[in-house]
């Protein structure tokens, strides 16, 4: 009988939840994550490759470009996300026309995550054996070919791992973005869980965020395993 | 383990007529067992190459004013100790390293004067293999070999055939779908060789190509290189720190020390009569050479060193010449061996008899083409 009543308590605990709202929150989180990941990968990959190539001794060695880029990235990375988000509101309005909702969250998410991802890409490219790049040069490959067909190819597992880490980081950023009106699961957790003291909603939203992170990590690890040739 | 018979494979491939080698190269004659290669056609000319690295105030001179001529058909070896500048020099040949001074002329073209697009095209005809193979780890053996062909914009169907041929040439037909991590060191180097030969280069650069391999694998790779040189007429420039590599396949050698070329010439000449101390040390690596320092002060007669080179090594010349007189001889030390294909021998003998007799023996030996040196 006791187990039955524990079960009943469990059901009752979640009885008041508006699942429609939870569903909408999940949708918004996924949207924020998807779009910000897309732009983060595009921008961060370009930055990371540029950062790597302009390093001393690399194909496009350029001290000025490297130093400037490196400083900007360090600065962006050292500002806490929530502060970054608030301080670039005018810029966000210029880019997407609003600073709230899913749309308003994407520019700050990308600006926060792209530098982080760029550093990870740079590190992944450093792992590529110099000898392989040299062999391609010796075969008469152009710089462009070397970037696409040798460096990015050889670094692919490192880059996928970087994408995974960045996606997981972005999940927590989207939750923070919820605090200033971006919507999503984070917004639900703060509005209900914190401000109206609804532990049931807190438990559900946090649970969903955990599931999301687990899924992303599992998918990333699986891809890395599949593509490893060492 | 049996050594793969690569020459047989190469013949098959040549007969398939799919390799597109200029006729004059197909008719390339394997070098006859004569050790002089004078009057060849120059393929690579290095003129006053220097390479300096600046590191703050410190300047390292890795290569110091090196000039070398490598002829078509040569297997030219550069030997030197670690840090002598060999890698830097060979990397200057395809401008992986741009020399601080000097010109690199390959096949009549001054590479140092080319713009990057033209240099990329020139590099497609200069194959290179590496100590650590440097294969794409994420690509199969086939894809690795296909890579330079794709760079040269060969049509897809043709690439497939060409890759088949090349894999057959290096004896890896069964391993096309493997990844480099699944291959042994020797097999990886074979992939490297197939890749380097893909665009029919006129020269193959080898940077310590066998230094990461065990002796048996080394000799199978060396014999593959020798076959490639003979059957395809590809000139080979290799660097090594092992005299054994030079002796097995090279016809010409340059010795490097502290960035300079200190001695250069035909392998047999350098091997049998090394001039500089570094060279002597390298020659001593190969155990069957003889050291003739201990034969002076023999009271009875004169001590002479006789060099046999070529087929005369196996002729009873010494016996015949001594028999003509009443002189006698004692062998103090000797060796008979082979360098690449050339038999050679070195004997230190003591000749006993009257001055007239020993004199006529020496003259007789010299007349029959032996190199005779009185050393005591
Ligand atoms: N990129 C570089 N920057 C500074 N110094 C260098 C560089 N590359 C080579 N050197 C120096 O140049 C010299 C020659 O080096 P190199 O690699 O050509 O020698 P090596 O004969 O190939 O030796 P090993 O047999 O060990 O490969 C060494 O003293 C080395 O420290
Ligand atoms: Mg070296």
Q: In the block, which residue shows the tokens 């000449």? A: B269
> Which tens digits make up the pLDDT trace of B174-213?
999 999 999 999 999 999 999 999 999 999 999 999 999 9
pLDDT > 90: percent of chain B: 59
In this prediction, residue A17 carries a pLDDT of: 83
Length of chain A: 230
> Which tens digits make up the pLDDT trace of B268-307?
888 888 889 999 888 887 755 555 556 656 667 888 888 8
Domains, chain B, in order of start with CATH, read 10-125+200-285 (3.40.50.300), 292-374 (3.30.70.260)
pLDDT > 90: percent of chain A: 73
Secondary structure (DSSP) of B327-344: -EEEEEEEEEEEETTEEE
Using the 8-state DSSP alphabet, how is residue B109 labeled? Answer: E
Which residues of chain B are at the A interface, by a Cβ-Cβ cutoff of 8 Å? Answer: 94, 96, 117, 119-124, 126, 128, 130, 132-139, 147-148, 151-152, 179-181, 195, 205
Query: Residue B63 CA: which ligand 1 atom is closest?
Result: 14
What number is the average pLDDT over the span B80-88? 95
Chain B residue numbers touching A131 (CB-CB < 8 A) = 130, 132-134
What number is the average pLDDT over the span B229-237? 95
In this prediction, residue B16 carries a pLDDT of: 34
Task: Test A131 with B147 for CB contact under 8 angstroms.
Answer: no
In this prediction, residue B39 carries a pLDDT of: 53
**Average pLDDT in chain B:** 85
Rg (CA), chain B: 24
Closest approach of A144 to chain B, Cα-based (Å):
12
What number is the average pLDDT over the span A214-222? 97
SS3 of residue B52 by DSSP: strand
Which of B136, B148, B182 is the mutation pick for testing A, counting most A CBs within 10 A?
A: B136
Residues 118..137 of A with a Cβ closer than 8 Å to B: which? 129, 131-132, 134-137
Q: Which CATH class is domain A28-227?
A: mainly alpha
Q: In the block, which residue shows the tokens 């779908």? A: B177
In this prediction, residue B287 carries a pLDDT of: 57
pLDDT > 70: percent of chain A: 99
Task: Test A154 with B121 for CB contact under 8 angstroms.
Answer: no
Cβ B40 vs Cβ B28: under 8 Å: no
Contacts of B28 (CB under 8 A, 6+ apart): B73, B230, B232, B233
Q: Does A153 touch chain B (CB under 8 A)?
A: yes
In this prediction, residue B339 carries a pLDDT of: 76
> Which tens digits make up the pLDDT trace of A74-85?
999 999 998 999
List the alpha helices (DSSP H) in A79-198: 81-87, 89-96, 101-126, 130-138, 143-145, 152-154, 156-177, 185-188
Chain A residue numbers touching B130 (CB-CB < 8 A) = 131, 134-135
In this prediction, residue B74 carries a pLDDT of: 95
In this prediction, residue B23 carries a pLDDT of: 33
Give the integer Cα–Cα distance in Å for B149 and B151.
5
Is the pLDDT at A214 greater than 70? The verdict is: yes
In this prediction, residue B110 carries a pLDDT of: 95
pTM above 0.95, yes or no: no
Closest CA to A101 of A189, A205, A181: A181
Is the pLDDT at B349 greater than 80? The verdict is: yes
Q: In the block, which residue shows the tokens 């650590």? A: B132
In this prediction, residue B311 carries a pLDDT of: 82
Is the pLDDT at B346 greater than 90? The verdict is: no
In this prediction, residue B29 carries a pLDDT of: 36
Is the pLDDT at B19 greater than 80? The verdict is: no
Give the integer Cα–Cα distance in Å for B141 and B294.
55
Is the pLDDT at B10 greater than 70? The verdict is: no
Q: Which residue of A has its CA nearest to B149?
A: A139
The residue whose CA is least distant from atom 7 of ligand 1 is B53
Give the integer Cα–Cα distance in Å for B248 and B101.
33
In this prediction, residue B17 carries a pLDDT of: 33
> Which tens digits make up the pLDDT trace of B96-123?
999 999 999 999 999 999 999 999 999 9
Closest approach of B132 to chain A, Cα-based (Å):
8
Closest CA to B248 of B256, B236, B263: B236
Mean pLDDT lowest among A7-16, A26-35, A93-102, B260-269: A7-16
Tokens describing residue B329: 């001889």
List the alpha helices (DSSP H) in chain B: 6-15, 23-26, 86-93, 116-123, 141-151, 156-169, 185-197, 215-232, 243-249, 267-272, 277-285, 317-323, 355-367
In this prediction, residue A134 carries a pLDDT of: 96
Q: What's the N-to-C CA distance of chain B in angstroms?
A: 47
In this prediction, residue B31 carries a pLDDT of: 40
Q: Assess whether the C-beta atom of B82 lies below 6 angstroms from ligand 1.
A: yes
> Which tens digits make up the pLDDT trace of A62-75?
999 999 999 999 99
Tokens describing residue A80: 């806490």
Other beta carbons within 10 angstroms of residue A16's beta carbon come to 9
Is the pLDDT at B258 greater than 50? The verdict is: yes
The residue whose CA is least distant from atom 26 of ligand 1 is B82
What is the pLDDT confidence band of residue B369, given thresholds at 50, 70 and 90?
A: confident
Is the pLDDT at B27 greater than 90? The verdict is: no
Other beta carbons within 10 angstroms of residue B28's beta carbon come to 18
Closest approach of B25 to chain A, Cα-based (Å):
22
Task: Test A140 with B122 for CB contact under 8 angstroms.
Answer: yes
pLDDT > 70: percent of chain B: 86
Cβ A43 vs Cβ A114: under 8 Å: yes
Q: Assess whether the C-beta atom of B53 lies below 6 angstroms from ligand 1.
A: yes
Chain A residue numbers touching B205 (CB-CB < 8 A) = 138
> Which tens digits make up the pLDDT trace of B129-145?
999 999 999 999 999 99
Secondary structure (DSSP) of B134-184: ---TTS-HHHHHHHHHHHTT--HHHHHHHHHHHHHHTT-GGGTTS-GGGS-
**Nearest Cβ partner for A131 among B119, B123, B130:** B130
Q: Assess whether the C-beta atom of B60 lies below 6 angstroms from ligand 1.
A: yes
| Residues surrounding ion ligand 2 at CB below 5 Å | B 87
In this prediction, residue B38 carries a pLDDT of: 46
Mean pLDDT lowest among A139-153, B10-24, B84-98, B164-178: B10-24
Cβ B195 vs Cβ B145: under 8 Å: yes
Is the pLDDT at A158 greater than 90? The verdict is: yes
Is the pLDDT at B358 greater than 80? The verdict is: yes
In this prediction, residue A52 carries a pLDDT of: 96
Is the pLDDT at A183 greater than 50? The verdict is: yes
In degrees, to the nearest 5, what angle opens at C-alpha A146 toward C-alphas B53 and A165? 100
SS3 of residue B129 by DSSP: strand
- Angle (deg, nearest 10), helices A19-53 and A199-227: 40
ipTM for this prediction: 0.86
Chain A residue numbers touching B195 (CB-CB < 8 A) = 135, 139
The residue whose CA is least distant from atom 18 of ligand 1 is B85
Cβ B256 vs Cβ B78: under 8 Å: yes
Is the pLDDT at B328 greater than 70? The verdict is: yes
Tokens describing residue A152: 């990015």
Mean pLDDT lowest among B98-107, B163-172, B321-330: B321-330
In this prediction, residue B292 carries a pLDDT of: 52
Q: Which residue of B has its CA nearest to A131?
A: B134
Which ligand gives the minimal distance to the CA of B82? 1
Is the pLDDT at B348 greater than 70? The verdict is: yes
The residue whose CA is least distant from atom 3 of ligand 1 is B53
Which ligand gives the minimal distance to the CA of B88? 1
Give the integer Cα–Cα distance in Å for A112 and A38.
14
What is the pLDDT confidence band of residue A100, given thresholds at 50, 70 and 90?
A: confident
In this prediction, residue B13 carries a pLDDT of: 39
In this prediction, residue B290 carries a pLDDT of: 56
In this prediction, residue A218 carries a pLDDT of: 97
Query: What is the B80 CA–ligand 2 centroid distance (Å)?
Result: 9
**Nearest Cβ partner for A141 among B117, B151, B180:** B151
Q: Which residue of B has its CA nearest to A156?
A: B138
**Where do the domains of chain A lie?**
28-227
């Amino acid at each position: 009988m006791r187990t039955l009543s524990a079960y009943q308590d469990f059901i009752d605990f979640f009885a008041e939840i508006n699942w429609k709202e939870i569903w909408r929150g999940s949708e918004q989180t996924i949207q924020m994550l998807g779009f910000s990941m897309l732009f983060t990968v595009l921008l961060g990959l370009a930055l990371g490759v540029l950062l790597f190539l302009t390093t001393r001794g690399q194909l496009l060695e350029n001290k000025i470009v490297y130093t400037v880029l490196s400083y900007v990235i360090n600065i962006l990375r050292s500002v806490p996300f929530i502060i970054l988000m608030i301080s670039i509101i005018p810029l966000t309005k210029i880019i997407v026309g609003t600073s709230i909702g899913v749309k308003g969250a994407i520019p700050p998410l990308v600006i926060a995550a792209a530098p982080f991802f760029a550093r990870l890409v740079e590190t992944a490219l450093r792992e590529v054996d110099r000898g392989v790049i040299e062999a391609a040069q010796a075969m008469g490959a152009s710089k462009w070919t070397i970037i696409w067909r040798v460096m990015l190819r050889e670094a692919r597992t490192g880059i996928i791992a970087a994408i995974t880490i960045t996606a997981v980081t972005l999940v927590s950023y989207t939750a923070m973005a919820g605090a200033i009106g971006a919507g999503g699961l984070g917004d639900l957790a703060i509005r209900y869980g914190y401000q109206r003291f609804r532990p049931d909603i807190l438990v559900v939203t946090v649970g969903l965020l955990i599931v999301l992170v687990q899924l992303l990590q599992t998918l990333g690890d699986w891809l890395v395993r599949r593509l490893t040739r060492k | 383990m049996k050594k793969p018979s690569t020459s047989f494979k190469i013949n098959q491939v040549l007969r398939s007529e799919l390799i597109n080698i200029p006729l004059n190269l197909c008719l390339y004659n394997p070098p006859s067992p004569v050790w002089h290669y004078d009057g060849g056609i120059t393929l690579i000319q290095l003129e006053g190459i220097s390479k300096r690295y600046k590191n703050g105030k410190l300047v390292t001179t890795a290569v110091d004013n090196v000039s070398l001529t490598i002829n078509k058909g040569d297997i030219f070896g550069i030997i030197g100790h670690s840090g002598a500048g060999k890698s830097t020099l060979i990397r200057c040949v395809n401008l992986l390293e741009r020399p601080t001074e000097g010109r690199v002329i390959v096949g009549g073209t001054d590479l140092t004067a080319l713009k990057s697009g033209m240099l990329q095209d020139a590099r497609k005809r200069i194959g290179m293999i590496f100590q650590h193979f440097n294969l794409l780890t994420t690509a199969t053996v086939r894809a690795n070999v296909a890579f330079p062909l794709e760079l040269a914009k060969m049509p897809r169907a043709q690439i497939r055939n060409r890759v088949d041929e090349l894999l057959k040439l290096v004896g890896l037909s069964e391993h096309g779908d493997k990844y480099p991590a699944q291959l042994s060191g020797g097999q990886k180097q074979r992939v490297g060789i197939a890749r380097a030969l893909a665009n029919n280069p006129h020269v193959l650069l080898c940077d310590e190509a066998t230094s990461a391999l065990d002796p048996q694998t080394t000799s199978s790779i060396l014999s593959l290189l020798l076959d490639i040189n003979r059957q395809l007429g590809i000139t080979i420039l290799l660097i090594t720190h092992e005299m054994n590599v030079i002796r097995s396949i090279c016809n010409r050698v340059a010795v490097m020390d502290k960035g300079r070329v200190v001695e250069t010439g035909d392998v047999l000449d350098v091997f049998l009569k090394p001039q500089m101390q570094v060279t002597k040390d390298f020659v001593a690596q190969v155990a069957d050479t003889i050291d003739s320092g201990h034969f002076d002060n023999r009271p009875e007669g004169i001590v002479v060193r006789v060099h046999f080179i070529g087929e005369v090594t196996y002729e009873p010349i010494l016996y015949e010449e001594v028999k003509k007189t009443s002189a006698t001889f004692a062998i103090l030390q000797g060796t008979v061996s082979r360098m690449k294909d050339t038999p050679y021998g070195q004997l230190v003998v003591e000749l006993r008899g009257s001055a007239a007799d020993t004199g006529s023996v020496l003259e007789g030996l010299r007349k029959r083409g032996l190199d005779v040196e009185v050393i005591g």
